[in-house]
Structure 1
């Protein structure tokens, strides 16, 4: 639980929050009763990656999420508590993972039937060797993390040292990591090995148990709307901040709407690169720390074209990582019927960075979501970021201060709010936690995590 101590008496302040994603919404909600809060959002909608869209599917209206999709009680403790406080309903989500290489290799995590969706895999030495390497990695990686052997190593270097096969690396572990972090396989090779293994441990991705995943009933906009109702009168949408200047007694914020406004404190609940661009007087520490965690854009396409999924029905899963050839680009297709309980008679998918375009006649829309890109320098910056928090009346929040997921964004926003005297009616959960509800599954791991954050 949290070591944060909030003061008994809080002097009321004017606080600006830049960005109405989960970090900004959470911070504003926790501060709304003790400070005069103004939440600025550049778009004409709230929620950031919580983006539910309505489509007409052969005459039937369907609401579907295109960014944040799922959560679980184990790894999202603050979000679960927040949803309970808001009265947000959720339903079970079917989470699983698959890999497909142009029909030549296909497997999924849906038990033995998924592992051997291709019957010939049972006789392939290379495939059976991959499964042995799964067990080997799952046994060795936690020990090597505990011993400190992973410190300073990129994931690719660690896998070479471990001596696992290329089939395991390219057909199992890197696709899984690339799907989780919305990254390329090359970026995953450079990902810090200790952080990678720690994340897999905390999410129980190296044993036979898995968290029970949930999705918001009616789409993620349901929770956004409930927060917005509590923040009525505090939100200024379609009003982007363009420049922030720090002063001795506070900050000056310039927006598109007119003259600069004075606030006592500002919370930058936006991406690291956006925060740096807004700070016209960023000092050396701020510049170095914010630049250490870059963002990259990802294209999400909502469609009904099943050709971007594995060819065999038994190899299809909630998350489908597909390539047309071994050295070509890959993409991840989310099966929204499995993830959100949408009628399977109306197939619906979201593909992230499609390696080939879905049929235009079967496409409903496109969206861009930016994701943080982590490396050793970025994770080192996270560990010392507290040294700039609150300096010159400026605070930072966002999923980039954690692993890049929804709980990380909420946690970072609440952490800042609590330091400013904010209030939440549950015990704040700091960092990775253990516990929660678990199910059993006869497979090595269930790699599906949060959809593109």
Structure 2
């Protein structure tokens, strides 16, 4: 069959790779590069050339089984990474980090602050209870705020740990985190060992994520068309028309490996069901700035971590700074950071690159859409795939692409590990505040 794949992030690339030996595959990418959120930048740092990721960064063996198998199949070199987390809110002594006692008591006076000890006690209590409650049906009726209230957790715990942690993971404003479905939140924290003492070992691609994208590119060859923005997709009983730059290309099937809102916008003849499902998932923009300004890190070096939240306006996008030297083993003499949504402008002299990413917002309508996606898969010769069908991370995008490819007769050299995500909206709340997918996918301390 002739199959068109629209989008070349991890979803589109993996689908094409799995299908290339069985079918005539063509990929269309609107940008001038492959990879989507796998976006490595080469910077000139005072004469040194450094490759730095600004999108996908890390993965682990526990939660990314297909990605690990893919990297082994493509012979992608990887190296150990490091995960840790810090929070500050601008008040003297407020900041703390997760690197043991030196990080937690970065401000030594906090060792004599009973409230700081109480925060730690609440963390331990939440972790213990979340492990016990992960299978409790009552969670499906509660929001995260409801669940926290049932546990009697302090406002300090919510403000200085749980809410900023959740906001960092899903790149969302803090406001609305407490409306997140408790069942999904607790399941995610359990699955990623966030409530356990033993944490997964994290790794990163040596030389940046572009290395695996290059492997895909070599394998796919001239099947890929860059700077080829699709403007319309039309279906009929005999096939699919894909319109690119005023030219119509005919295919037997089409895979829309892009955001759900983009997929809907391309369909000239979307069904009511497609409109309902694809239109239910909302997206939020996040600005990512690669820079060298250390003032966006905690004031005390002992609190510096891989992920660093700076709390501010709860209605504003989360400000989060990634310490790339620690995450990717960059030269310690060349401090490098990626800051999302900085509240104050970064001096252009310190900026290497800027990017805008859009991320799915996992509210109740999105959860319903995820549960309904199978009802439109393959209908009218059309398939939909993307990380929006899972938790929004790289493994989710890979699974979505491979899931569709295997349905179309594709092959992969390992046993596919599927793990369909089904989220249950809190029945006790009608709110639809949004939670998005992490921009850099370096889930803090996961």
When the two structures are superposed, what TM-score results if normalisation uses the length of structure 1?
Answer: 0.91
Residue 204 of structure 1, CA deviation: 0.4
> For structure 2, which runs of at least 5 residues remain unmatched after alignment?
422-437
Work out the CA distance in 1 between the residues paired with 2:134 and 2:204. Answer: 32
Alignment of 1:26-425 (within 5 A): 26-102=14-90, 103-256=92-245, 258-323=246-311, 330-425=318-413
SS in 1 for 2:289: strand
- TM-fit CA distance, 1:325: 7.7
Q: Offset of 1:326 from its aligned partner? A: 8.4
Does 2:439 match 1:451? no
d(CA) in 2 for partners of 1:190, 1:36: 46
Residue 99 of structure 1 aligns to a residue in which SS? strand
- Runs of 4+ displaced beyond 6 Å: 325-329
How big is each residue's C-alpha offset from its partner over 1:144-178, in whole Å with a ceiling of 9 and x where there is no partner? Answer: 33121111422223222322111111110111111
**Which whole-Å deviations, capped at 9, do the CAs of 1:172-195 have from their partners, x for residues lacking one?**
011111111111111322221111
Shift, 1:245, TM fit:
1.1
For structure 1, the residue ranges without an aligned partner over 5 or more in a row are 1-12, 434-446
Instruction: Work out the CA distance in 2 between the residues paired with 1:133 and 1:451.
Output: 24
Partner Cα separation in structure 1 for residue 178 and residue 368 of structure 2: 18
Please tell me whether the aligned partners of residues 331 and 354 of structure 1 are also in contact (alpha carbons under 8 angstroms). yes
Partner Cα separation in structure 2 for residue 187 and residue 326 of structure 1: 9
Please give the per-residue CA displacement for 1:86-131, whole angstroms capped at 9, x wherever unaligned.
0100011111111112143111111121111111222222222211
Give how far 1:291 is off.
1.6
8 A contact 2:238–2:252 mirrored in 1: yes
State how far apart, in whole Å, the 1-side matches of 2:313 and 2:378 are. 50
CA distance in 1, matches of 2:377, 2:315: 43
- In structure 2, the residue corresponding to 1:300 is in which secondary structure? strand
Does structure 2 retain, via aligned residues, the 8 Å contact 1:319–1:448? no
Check conservation: 2:164, 2:311, Cα contact below 8 A.
no
> Post-superposition shift, 1:324?
5.5
2:288 is paired with a residue whose SS is: strand
After superposition, the C-alpha distances for 1:193-236 in whole angstroms (9 at most, x for unaligned) are 11111111110000101111001001100000000100001101
Number of residues paired by the alignment?
A: 427
The alignment yields a C-alpha RMSD, in angstroms, of 2.0
Question: Partners in 1 of 2:151 and 2:440 — Cα distance?
Answer: 25
- Kept in 2, the 8 Å contact 1:248–1:392? The answer is yes
Q: 1:448 to 1:16 in 2, by over 3 A?
A: closer
8 Å CA contact retained: 2:257, 2:401: yes
For 1:424 and 1:269, the matched residues in 2 are separated by: 18
Identify the range of structure 1 (188-197 vs 139-148) with the bigger mean alpha-carbon deviation. Answer: 139-148
Q: 1:451 to 1:123 in 2, by over 3 A?
A: same
